Each structure stands twice: as structure tokens, then as C-alpha cells.
Structure 1
Amino acid sequence: MRVKEPTKVLPEKAKRSKRPTIPHDEDSSDDIAVGFTCQHISHAVSVNHVKRAISENLWSVCSECLKERRFCDGQPVLPSDIWLCLKCGFQGCGKNSESQHSLKHFKSWRTELHCIIISLSTWIIWCYECDEKLSTHCNKKVLAQIVDFLQKHVSKTQTNLSRWSYEHCLL
């Protein structure tokens, strides 16, 4: 029988400390300050689809109102409250507008979720399924990435939108 030689005593490795856990009481005001975590993000957000749609469509214009070519006193009516679907990049007027195209987009039947939208004027992110405002701090980093991409895109498109509005008002 072979006897094992005693091994060298190595210094103990420092143990990783776990992050402190915060209790999640339903009545806790901390949850309100921190934000709401949405379970739909992983299925209802597609950065690639949004980037493709943004490159192919006019920025911050309700695509349905544009199709309807609504005019008031000879000027095109383009709502300022535009929301972008974070699944496919659809841009529609908000639920407080007359036509509510972003809400209709969410309610139309699809095999995939189209429930998370972002306001292109306030950068508020909303989940229709949860009926809650979402925070980029409490949710997956994909929300922060997409907001960053959209905000960078805004600076590039401001002049293009002004030019488009001027040209279409002349029609």
C-alpha cells in the first residue's frame, strides 16, 4: 500500500463576498425608488430588429398617421408623442393621442410579444403587459444599450426630419 505524502499547506483563497440582499416586501417604498423589473424584456426586445427598422424608416414619425396622410389647415398632422416598439421598431403615436397607434400595435395579434415601448421624446420605457414604467437600472443591460443607440441616432436625424417636414408641407 502506498502512503500519500503530506501536501504543502497553501494559504486559503479569499472568499468572494455575496452582494447584500435586499428584502422585497410588497409594501416597501424601496422597491418604488429602485424600479420595477420586467419579465418580458428577454422576449420583447430585439436590438437588431430595432436598428434595422430605424435605418429604414423616418425618425419620430407615426407610421400609421403618415399612411393616413392626416392634414389640418393644409399641414400634415404628425403627433409629437411617438413611441417605438422595442421588438420590431414600429413607431406609433401614444395612447394619449387620438389614434393610439402604438397601443393598437401592441394589441394586434402576433406570435411574439410587442409589449415594450419607449417614448422618443422623454425616453420613458413602458411595458404594456405589466402596465409599468421600466428603468434601465433595474432591468437587463439591453435596455440601456438600446436607449444609448436611440439617443445617438437622434442627433443624426434631427436635420433629416426638419428637411422631410419642409418638403412634405409643400405637397
Structure 2
Amino acid sequence: MQRLKFNHVASRVPGPFGLLIGGGLFIFLAVLIAIYDQLAQENAALQQQWQRRQTLLAPQPSISQQPVVDQALAAEWLAAQQALNTPWLALLHDLEQAQQVPVYWLQLAPDAKRQHLRMTVLAQRRQQGWAWLDQLKKQPSLTNVKLTASESTEVNGLRMTTLQLEAAWTF
């Protein structure tokens, strides 16, 4: 009786050419890892040398030297500090509290030195702008609220009123 063979697929064992390519790639990978490790060590040594040189070249602060102050720079610094000390959040909160009617802000230009505020808004109707102006006058933090200009304009096909206002704040 003849034996039956159910597996007609050729053997999966790689030939000598495949083993040679695989072994060569493995050796190449080992060499690359060794080179990378050597470069990483050299890089760490160079960074340490660079940091040592930077600390040697950095000027040492002398306690006996008086700092030279530029008057213009000092004035700018003081103005910036005053602008930072301005209570912007409280001012903006009061402006939002006054907005009972739908107006659209176009411009808000505060001046921290003079505690002055210029605003440009759009209202759908002139009466809404006047009502908003009255609300601003009722705010305790705003003083000297006045309308400087009012103009009727067309925005996207709608008739709108542009209002320009000025006010001072007290904080």
C-alpha cells in the first residue's frame, strides 16, 4: 500500500541565502547599537564641558557695583506697573452689568494713566443705545459718562446706530 501525503506545501525552512541575509542584518543592527551608545556617551561629555565653560564665562555679579538705571526705562516700567495694577476685571464686570439691552461692542479703548475709557458700540435702534447710556450713568464705578458721537449706519443690510461714548472710572 502506498502512503498518502496530505501536505503538498514545500518546506518552510529558509534556504542558505535567507539565513545569510538575516544574519548580516542582525550583525549590522548590533554594530549600529554600539555606535549609538558611543555617540550618546560622547554627547553627554560634551554637554558637561559646555555647561562648565558657560559657568566660567558668565559674568559674576558684583555686590559693590551700583546698577545703572535708565530714566526712560524706569518711567516705562512704572507706567506698565500702573497698567497692571488697574482693576480691569472689576471695570469689565461693571460694563457687563450695565448691558441690559443688546448692543454690539466695536471698540473698547481704556487709558490707565488718565483712568479714562472710550467705547464704540452698535445698537439696533437708537432707543436701545440711549437706554444703555442711562445704565452706564447709573454704575457707581463710572463717572462723567457722556455721548461724544452718534451716527446711523447700515450694517449687512440692517439699519444700526453707532454710539461713541467716553467715561472715567473710579477705583
* Structure 2 length-normalised TM: 0.23
Q: Please identify which structure carries the higher strand content.
A: 2
| Structure showing greater relative contact order (alpha-carbon pairs closer than 8 Å, 6 or more residues apart) | 1
More helix by share: 2
- TM-score scaled by length of structure 1: 0.23
